[in-house]
Structure 1
Amino acid sequence: MLTLNNLAPSEGARKAKKRVGRGPGSGSGKTAARGHKGARARSGYSARPGFEGGQMPLHRRLPKRGFNNIFKQVCNLVSLDQLNTFDAGSIVDYAALVTAGYVKKAGPVKVLANGEINKALTVQVDKVSQGAKEKIIAAGGSVEG
C-alpha cells in the first residue's frame, strides 16, 4: 500500500543535473560544452524570440497580406432566439447573458436579428443591430445603451 512514509519516484524518473566544467575526465570540462568562442560561449547570452541563428526567421520568410487592424473590437454575438429564453419583462444585460451562458468571454455584446422575439424585454447591451432593435420594439420591449 502506498503511504507517505514509502513515497518514491519511479525508477528513472529523476535524473541528476549535468555538472559541466569539472575537468577533462568528465567529458564536459574545459569549454563546459559551450564550444569555442561565439555568442553562445559567452556569459549572459540570450537570443531574442524568433532568432534562428542568422537564418532568415520564419516570421520574415512567410508572406504578409492585407491589413491587420490592431484596434479591432470583437463582439460577443447574441441572437434574438437566445433572448427569447428570458422571462417577459426582465432586464437583459451583460451579467444576465453570462449567467444564462450565452456570453463566455469578456468584451462588448452585440444583439443580432437572428430569429424572432415575442416577449417584452429591456435590453441593455453595448450594440444592437437595426433589425434586432426594430423586432425588440415591435414585441413591446425597449433597447437602452
Structure 2
Amino acid sequence: MELNSIQPAAGAKHAARRVGRGIGSGLGKTAGRGHKGQKSRSGGYHKVGFEGGQMPLQRRLPKRGFKSHLLKFNAEVTLSALGRLDLAEVDMLALKKAGLIGELTRVVKVIKSGEITRAVKLSGITVTAGAKAAIEAAGGSVA
C-alpha cells in the first residue's frame, strides 16, 4: 500500500447532486425548492429565532433578573477553608497565593460554613457575624 493509492471504500462517496440542469436530471425547473415562498428565492432566508413576523419567543417572555458585572471582584471563603490553611495571619495576598480566591478579587468575605479550630488572625477581610464569633471562639481575631 502506498499513500498515493489510498482511496475510500467503493460506494462510500456519492457525487454531489446537481440541481437546475434540465428536466432529464429529475431536479430541473424549481430545483427541489418547491413553488414560491421565501425559501425558494435566492438569498431568501431568515435569522435564527425569526418566526415569520410573529413576535419571537425571546421578546414575548418577560425580562427577569440581573447579574452584576462587579460580582467577578467579590469572593467568599469558608471557615473550613481557613482552617485548612497553615497560616497564623491571613490577608488577601495569602488567600490569592493559596488559590482560594481569584486574581481579580478585591473584596473577600469569610462566611460561617464548616468549623475552625485553629487561631487565625484576619486582616483586611470582612467577616459575617457568625464567622466572627467562631473565629474568636477558636482564639483568633478579626482586624
TM-score by length of 1: 0.56
Q: Which has more radius of gyration?
A: 2
C-alpha distance in structure 2 between counterparts of 1:124 and 1:25, whole Å: 83
Would you say the 8 A contact 1:77–1:111 is kept in 2? yes
Aligned to 1:97: 99
Would you say the 8 A contact 1:20–1:28 is kept in 2? yes
Aligned to 2:82: 83
Q: CA offsets per residue over residues 74-101 of structure 1, 9 Å max, x none?
A: 7665421122111123654245235xxx
Q: CA offsets per residue over residues 95-114 of structure 1, 9 Å max, x none?
A: 5235xxxx79x878653211
C-alpha distance in structure 1 between counterparts of 2:136 and 2:77, whole Å: 17
Q: What is the CA-CA distance between 1:60 and the residue it aligns to?
A: 6.0
Runs of 5+ consecutive residues of structure 1 not aligned to the other structure: none
Aligned to 1:120: 120
Aligned to 1:39: 38
Q: What is the CA-CA distance between 1:44 and the residue it aligns to?
A: 1.9
Q: Secondary structure at the match of 2:34?
A: coil
One-letter amino acid of the structure 2 residue matched with residue 79 of structure 1 = T
Q: What is the CA-CA distance between 1:58 and the residue it aligns to?
A: 4.5
C-alpha distance in structure 1 between counterparts of 2:6 and 2:129, whole Å: 65
Aligned to 1:18: 17
One-letter amino acid of the structure 1 residue matched with residue 98 of structure 2 = A
C-alpha distance in structure 2 between counterparts of 1:88 and 1:7, whole Å: 64
Would you say the 8 A contact 1:94–1:109 is kept in 2? no
1:67 matched to 2:64? The reply is yes
C-alpha distance in structure 1 between counterparts of 2:81 and 2:115, whole Å: 9
Percent identity among equivalent residues? 40
Q: Secondary structure at the match of 1:83?
A: helix
C-alpha distance in structure 2 between counterparts of 1:111 and 1:15, whole Å: 64
User: What RMSD in Å do the two structures reach over aligned CA positions?
Assistant: 4.2
Runs of 5+ consecutive residues of structure 2 not aligned to the other structure: none
One-letter amino acid of the structure 2 residue matched with residue 33 of structure 1 = G
Q: Secondary structure at the match of 2:84?
A: coil
Q: How many positions carry a matched residue from both structures?
A: 133
